Amino acid sequence: MPDIPLEIFQSLLFFIPAFIANPGAVITGGHFPIDFGKKFVDGKRIFGDGKTWSGFFGGVASGVIFGLIIYALLVVLNLHIGNFSSTITGAIGVLITMSAGSLLGDMVGSFIKRRIGIERGGKGSLLDQWPFVLMAFLILFIFERQFFMTYYGDIVGLITILVITPPLHRAVNIIGYRMNKKDVPW
Ligand code: CTP
Ligand code: MG
Ligand code: K
């Protein structure tokens, strides 16, 4: 019989790096717009000044570093959950894939926001909250199939993450706003 609480715990634990990539991008971001200031065919910015190379790479680095801390803790505690902690190079591959996927999804959200006329920094609601999750999963499915199938293949963990992300995203952004890291609480 599958242990549902443990499965959900694992799914959440291993998705933390994809979450961390976003505040990581807020801290390191703001330099060198990914779209180089270029406009799309509709005359609006492709992504806007909120998506930068410094945020992208800083966000990926944050996700990888945070993930390696989780990895190290699992090793120290001698908890080898599934195949995540089998090799360090394997773990790094998963962490880069997941963090980059998360920030690519964040860019997709911004791309759609610009197309429907929401300015950079404007409230996107689910467009701020779901694309990064969905893209992280899609990229993991494509490039880290074994990891994806082990922890998210049965859909339970995936659905759990989709459900908790909007309130979690909101809470983190309110904290970022109060810490003066963000101009708006969303
Ligand atoms: N950020 C960045 N590069 C990224 C992602 C985020 O530099 N790839 C930084 C930007 O300074 C951005 C801040 O993190 O303003 C907050 O991220 P987010 O809320 O995703 O961007 P917004 O400014 O709200 O822009 P958008 O409307 O396009 O989502
Ligand atoms: Mg925003
Ligand atoms: K966003």
What does the pLDDT profile of the chain (186 residues) look like in tens digits? 566 788 899 999 999 999 999 999 999 999 999 999 999 999 999 999 999 999 999 999 999 999 999 999 998 998 876 666 678 899 999 999 999 999 999 999 999 999 999 999 999 999 999 999 999 999 999 999 999 999 999 999 999 999 999 999 999 999 999 999 899 999
Ligand nearest to the CA of 111: 1
DSSP secondary structure code for residue 33 in this structure: B
42 alpha carbon – ligand 2 mean position (Å): 21
- Residue 41 token pair: 């065919």
Q: Are 161 and 15 in contact (CB under 8 A)?
A: yes
Check if the interface score ipTM surpasses 0.95.
yes
Among 19, 51, 116, 172, the mutation site with the greatest number of ligand 1 atoms within 8 A of its Cβ is: 51
The pTM assigned to this predicted structure is: 0.95
